[in-house]
Structure 1
Amino acid sequence: MSQFKLIEGIGHNFKAHRDLSVKFGDLTKITGDNEEGKSSVLEIPTWTLYGTDTFGGKMDPTPTNYKYDHVMAETLLEVDGKLLKFGRGIEKGKATYYINDVPSKASDFEEIVKSLIDKDLFLGLFNPLYFFSLHWEKQRELMLRYSTPPTQKEVFAEMSRASPDQKLKDIKLNPQAEKLDELVKKHTLPQLEEIHKKNKNDKDTAHKKAQGRTETLEEQFRQLPEVPEDIEAIKAEDAELVKQVRDIHAKIELADEPKRKQAVLEGTLENVRQQIAAAKTRYMKVHGEEIAEECSTCKRPFDEAAKQAAEASKEERKKPLRDEHDKLVARRKELEAELAAVELVDVSELWEQMRALEHRRDATAETIGWYNRRQSLQADLEKAQADEAATLASRNESIFILDAIKAYEAKAAELQAAKVQELFQTLTIRLFKEQKNGDIKPDFVIDRDGKTPTQFSLSESIRAGLEVRDVISEQSGWIAPCFIDNKESVTRYKAPRGQLITCQVIEGQPLNIESEELSHENHQ
């Protein structure tokens, strides 16, 4: 345990005190009438160290009823056997600081004070009513600051306890504790809570979409026509029909060959006939030419030899034209003979057979098409159902983990509250509260016999404050001075750990300070 003692407090022009020196003992009694400055004595240590009153509030220590040159408060402390003297003053409107009578910077002063003891802890130990002046969150933080929370292993075990007398080694983790025990190897509980809150919300939305997808596919599947169970027989029949259609189509193709040949011959024959007509025209043109009687230039009549030569030339030009015509006529006769030899085949019956087969095949193909559609839709439906199930499983897993975390927090809160509660004798402490949705939220309520601190009388507040500060002293490992103001209001109380300073109003009496068993004498 660390020990913090007040050895001496000195005030110069400190409120009502022009010059005051107080030596504190293990028990220091301050008495006097109202307005005699009893409470100001208690403010010398707090203003020296922190510049505040005993409740941590700002305060102005300058006198209001007499003139002064400067203000000074000094406090001699003993911390774990080491003497330290601190001073704080106001000179010409400026703050001054001293450490062991040596002027110091504000930052150095505050750093050393802070290193000795936390401000809230000191004020909570020094003033029993300080704790009740704090916001509940600060009260809770100060109460738990030095309290060791239960370990995860403890909480998991207590979550799984089957009976109060069950031995720890016999406890088998329940599913929630077992799951969390596995997950906390990778993530902290707050991280798990964030992960699975997000996953639950995401999967809520995804599951609704997946349900809609599944319902749509189920409705589409119901609307499809039924197909025969022996689909393989239908497929075999369809394949045979396709083969028969192809065979007939091949026969029709063969049967169409003479027709195609006829068409080609007729086309060729027509072309040859046109060539014959053209050749005849060319021949007749030469054949109809007249032999001139005279020269077209000199107009001299041709003699018989010239006329014969002209006739011979004409005959010479007619001969190739006649040969060409004769050849074309011969080709025409060949084509006419070939065309006359073509025999056409009637394929109307084959077409009838093929159409009948195709009609039957339409039915089998339609059945197979519906079967394939059902198979495809069935696969889509099974995938949608699997996706929906996986989404739901992930969502339910997150809900399970979140519920497990709630159960963990509830049990941890219960264990921690019980651990803290064991330190109190007359007060009941509530550290957590359960929300309507089951969430465990931090809380802090002090109760005695159904009354909260706001309902306490002054004496009840003092006794409750002393109990709280002794618990904080025990938890923090600090023994520090404590004062009881308005002692006349409380006739019975448990003496606090550490130095005790009492202030009591005695009508008509001037300020009087008595110390017993002075601490500094024990170190001389």
Structure 2
Amino acid sequence: MQHIKIISATAHNFKVHRDLIVTFGERTEITGDNAQGKSSILELISWTLYGTDVLGSKLDPTPTNYKYDIVKAELLLEVDGNQFLLGRGIEKNKATYYINDVPAKAGDFEEIVKSLFDRDLFLSLFNPTYFFTLHWSKQRELMMRFTTPPAAKEVFAEMSRLTQGQKLKDIALNIQAEKLQELTKKHQRPALKEIHTKNKSDKDAAYKRAQGKVEALEGQLLKLPEAPADIEAVKAEDTELLSQIESLQQKIELADEPKRKRIVLESSLASAQQKVVAAKERYLKVHGEVISEECPTCKRALDPESIEAVKSNKEERKAPLRNEHDQAVAERKEIEAKLAAVELIDVSELIQERNTLEQKRDVTADTIGWFNRRGPLQEDLDKARSEEEESLASRNDSIFILDALKAYEAKEAELQAKKVQGMFSTLTISLFKTLKGGGDPQPNFEIERDNKPYSKLSRSERAHAGIELAAVLSDMGEIIAPLAVDDSESVFRIKQPIGQLILVKAVEDQKLEIK
């Protein structure tokens, strides 16, 4: 059994204490009027160890009514016969630590304190009020820490019990117990809790994302026209319309050929006409030349032979020009004949018919297009709905498993509490609470005295409850630690515990006194 004793504590500029040395015995009484620093002596112990007050809250021990240089507190402990001198201080606004008068790092100091005893257990034994400030789950864990947990088989059975008198062999596991029994073959309960806590969180997010996606896709589908009752009939109609349009287009294009031919012939005719005019002009130019009877250079009269030669030359030059003109005229007439033979076709009715068919096909093509757009959207929607359902199913499965684990822990605590309950004389353990709004009782842990929760007890009742709790914790944890009772003037008949007892009592008009 571990034995913890406080040999002495010293304070320098710790709250109201400029310099104080306290030696502790098996029973130490601290008395004095208010504001004499009685409770500060208890805080001196908790602050040296943990930097907190006796309730585990952060504590500032610096004096407020006088000047100081440094703050320092020391605690001489004896743990199982071995002494440890631990010190904590504040110098120039920086925390300092000492182990056996040697300066130490914060981590080394905390490590040695941690190695001596458990923080929650020590503070609960030293000042039982600390225990009642812990969350109910921490209280339960601390109280049940030293009791052997019941076998899983027993817990599963008790989870499934229908009546008090039901024999163990007749109990059929309920769905929660059956599920946990199967899952714990592969994973331990803490791992299951971690796995499904994470999965619940992940699937919560995935479910919300899937819901948003489903909503968006449904909105897109609603904007599209309704799908036709028989899409194949629409496709067949569209194919037939396209075939008719292409047939008409071919006829229209064939009808355009005479137009194109006429345009070419008209262009050729214009060119031929220009050639006729040009040939005529060249012929008339030669034809209109005047025959002169004198030499243009020397102005001497020409003889008859020369005049005849000039006339002959003119006729020779006219002949090819006349032929050129005749050929141009012949070419023009040939083109005019071809142009006259071209017969134009009226395609206005064909074009009107084609346009009507194209308007009809616009409807079928749009219907097919919308239908083709609906297909991928519907596939995406089906996939999103499947993801939504899968996420919800997985999330709900994890919630079920987490609820089953809570039920297991509650039943396990209930079975353990039965073992602990026998160690109390006036206190009882309540494991459930009823919510104001009604519904099933919720798992809880609360120490009661005379069927009243700790929070409803008087100061004296709380003190007695704390003393009894400390005695049971000490016995269960096999640890003897100092017990401090503040405001002990309100508590009567305090029995000396197995370890040290520190009583703090207010006495009017008395200076601080330590016995």
TM-score interval (norm. to shorter): 0.5 to 0.7
1:124 counterpart residue number:
124
- Structure 1 residue 60 displacement after superposition: 9.9
Equivalent position amino acid for 2:467 in 1 = L
Question: Deviation per CA, 1:443-498, whole angstroms, max 9, x where unpaired?
Answer: 764433343334323442233113322444356453334356749944487x85x4
1:241 counterpart residue number:
244
Distance 1:158 1:44 in 2: 45
Matches within 5 A, 1:130-141: 130-132=130-132, 135-137=133-135, 141=138
CA 1:317–1:288: 2 relative to 1, 3 Å: same
1:286 counterpart residue number:
286
CA 1:246–1:174: 2 relative to 1, 3 Å: farther
Q: Does the CA-based 8 Å contact 1:47-1:73 persist in structure 2?
A: no
Q: Does the CA-based 8 Å contact 2:48-2:88 persist in structure 1?
A: no
Distance 1:237 1:478 in 2: 97
CA 1:325–1:478: 2 relative to 1, 3 Å: same
Q: Does the CA-based 8 Å contact 1:96-1:103 persist in structure 2?
A: no
How many residues align structurally? 470
2:141 counterpart residue number:
144
Determine if the alignment matches structure 1 residue 323 to structure 2 residue 319. no
- Among 410, 415, 424, which residue is 1:414 paired with? 410
Q: Does the CA-based 8 Å contact 1:11-1:20 persist in structure 2?
A: yes
Say what the alpha-carbon RMSD is for the aligned residues: 6.0
2:382 counterpart residue number:
386
Equivalent position amino acid for 2:82 in 1 = L
- Structure 1 residue 118 displacement after superposition: 4.0
- Structure 1 residue 441 displacement after superposition: 9.9
Distance 1:451 1:143 in 2: 18
Q: State the SS of the aligned residue for 1:290.
A: coil
- Structure 1 residue 125 displacement after superposition: 1.5
Distance 1:435 1:406 in 2: 24
Distance 1:413 1:170 in 2: 16
Q: State the SS of the aligned residue for 2:501.
A: strand
1:64 counterpart residue number:
none
The sequence identity of aligned pairs, in percent, is 26
Task: Decide which moves more: 271-280 or 42-51.
Answer: 42-51
Equivalent position amino acid for 2:141 in 1 = L
Equivalent position amino acid for 1:376 in 2 = N
1:215 counterpart residue number:
222
Matches within 5 A, 1:36-115: 46=45, 50=49, 78-80=78-80, 82-84=81-83, 86=85, 103-105=101-103, 110=109, 112-115=112-115
Q: Which runs of 5+ in 1 are unaligned?
A: 62-71, 514-524
1:453 counterpart residue number:
454
Matches within 5 A, 1:171-210: 188-210=195-217
CA 1:84–1:216: 2 relative to 1, 3 Å: same
Task: Decide which moves more: 166-175 or 388-397.
Answer: 166-175
Q: State the SS of the aligned residue for 1:427.
A: strand
- Structure 1 residue 221 displacement after superposition: 1.3
TM-score under structure 2 length normalisation: 0.65
- Structure 1 residue 193 displacement after superposition: 3.8
- Structure 1 residue 86 displacement after superposition: 3.7
CA 1:438–1:405: 2 relative to 1, 3 Å: farther
Equivalent position amino acid for 1:383 in 2 = E
Q: Does the CA-based 8 Å contact 2:74-2:85 persist in structure 1?
A: yes
Q: Does the CA-based 8 Å contact 1:413-1:432 persist in structure 2?
A: no
2:277 counterpart residue number:
277
Q: Does the CA-based 8 Å contact 1:206-1:391 persist in structure 2?
A: no
1:369 counterpart residue number:
365
Equivalent position amino acid for 1:328 in 2 = A
Q: State the SS of the aligned residue for 1:464.
A: helix
